Structure 1
Amino acid sequence: MSNKNYQYPLNFQGKSLTKVVKVIDVLHKTPRTGWVDRKVKDPETVGEHTDELVFLAEKLFNIPGLNKMLKIHDWPESDKNVGDRRTDNSCPKSTRWTKDEKYQAELTAMKKICLELGIEGKKIFKLWLEFEEKKTERSQIAHQLDKLQMIVRAAKYQKEGQPIKVEEFIKEDGDKIKHPILKRVLDQAVIEIL
């Protein structure tokens, strides 16, 4: 069977492919810090979070590059010096980073990861910077999907009896979800889950 007509989203080979697999493996073993801090039993991992984001994006949008952006947006968290760090005021002050500290640490980690990926690494780094800068419609939707997924997950945890109050998440981040499709999904999902 010929692969001539198949469009590979990213062209990884050899050591590059091994590096990407390691990054993904670490993210699937890294529990999300926000849930750990809130004492959620069996919290989702960064990798599971990414998987849900990509699923939502596939179902709700047909925006070129959005899925790729979501797949790589948390790659810096695979670096042992970064991890899944929080910047919000609700986390313990001793572990809280400023937004600039987090960005600088993630920037360094992403440069390191992408350097090992050759030409594909340059494409990934550019896509990650686009996500971080939040200037394009695609990156803004990616950030809103990120918030939506977190709120839906909080509602799920609350329904399971975990020590979570979804209202706190809606109050903190609900107004950051501005796209009409995502606002509708948020309203519907919270009603259905609760």
Structure 2
Amino acid sequence: MSAQQSQLPAEDLLSFFRFVGKLKTIKRTGWVKRGVHDPESVSDHMYRMALMAMAVGGNDSARRDRLIKMALVHDLAESEVGDIAPGDGVSKEEKFSREEAAMHHLRDDALSQSTFGKELYDLWLEYDQGKTEDARLVKELDKMEMIVQADEYETVQGKDLEEFFESTRGVFHSNVMQDIDRALRSQRIRRKRTASPEDSGLN
């Protein structure tokens, strides 16, 4: 097999591309439940997370690439199981079971003819377990992307999404993420003060 040839047959690659494509149409449950207009898809979320990983990954290119891969894989199972939110009445154990079954299907069936499926599964499992430094950072990126998006929905659509900011207090432990968190919350406070009728004298 030449270096230009794929490890996977074209039909398998096409099936995988379609599998991933489903994430374009799966809307993020948290925004849907709160009446956000035209809410982002799961793939929207993962795309910005991947670029965030690239931006904060540091000078170690191997580690940065690993963080990007994990960000791109972390919600991959949602292509089959959907975006299960905390308020959906599904236990963490059941959520894991459903998502693991989807990743098993991807690894053992759809992509069984190469090591690619195993790489996807291993990255997903590492993220889900959150035991490594890389996984913990990507989990922080997941939360950060969420509140950046919440801030944007508040700004553009006038939504009150305070609960998302409250749910992420104290979850950021890496220095860079703590700095970004402080900057975001400071900007949000300034924006709210500027828009407040009490502060503007328009009440």
* TM-score normalised per structure 2: 0.81
Runs of 4+ aligned structure 1 residues displaced above 4 Å come to 10-13
Q: 1:145 maps to which residue? A: 141
2:85 aligned with 1:86: yes
Cα pair 1:154 1:169 within 8 Å, conserved:
yes
CA drift of 1:161 comes to: 2.8
* Compared CA separation, residues 31 and 99, structure 1 to 2 (3 A): same
Q: 2:164 maps to which residue? A: 169
Identity within the alignment, %: 29
- Secondary structure in structure 1 of the residue aligned to 2:157: coil
Ranges in structure 2 where 5+ consecutive residues have no aligned partner: 192-203
Ranges in structure 1 where 5+ consecutive residues have no aligned partner: none
Cα pair 1:111 1:125 within 8 Å, conserved:
yes
Mapping of residues 19-168 of structure 1, within 5 Å = 19-62=15-58, 63=63, 64-79=65-80, 82-87=81-86, 91=87, 95-115=88-108, 116-118=110-112, 119-165=115-161, 167-168=162-163
The one-letter code of the counterpart of 1:113 is L
Cα pair 1:77 1:106 within 8 Å, conserved:
yes
CA drift of 1:60 comes to: 1.1
Q: 2:13 maps to which residue? A: 17
CA drift of 1:19 comes to: 2.5
Deviations 1:54-101 (A, max 9, x none): 01111111424111111111111000xx100112xxx3xxx3211111
CA drift of 1:12 comes to: 4.8
Greater Cα radius of gyration, structure 1 or 2: 2
CA drift of 1:11 comes to: 5.3
Structure 2: distance between partners of 1:55 and 1:164: 27
The one-letter code of the counterpart of 1:106 is E
Q: 1:182 maps to which residue? A: 177
Q: Alignment length, in residue pairs?
A: 180
* Compared CA separation, residues 162 and 20, structure 1 to 2 (3 A): farther
* Compared CA separation, residues 133 and 11, structure 1 to 2 (3 A): farther
* TM-score normalised per structure 1: 0.85
Structure 1: distance between partners of 2:135 and 2:105: 22
Instruction: Give RMSD over aligned pairs.
Output: 2.2
Higher helix share: 2
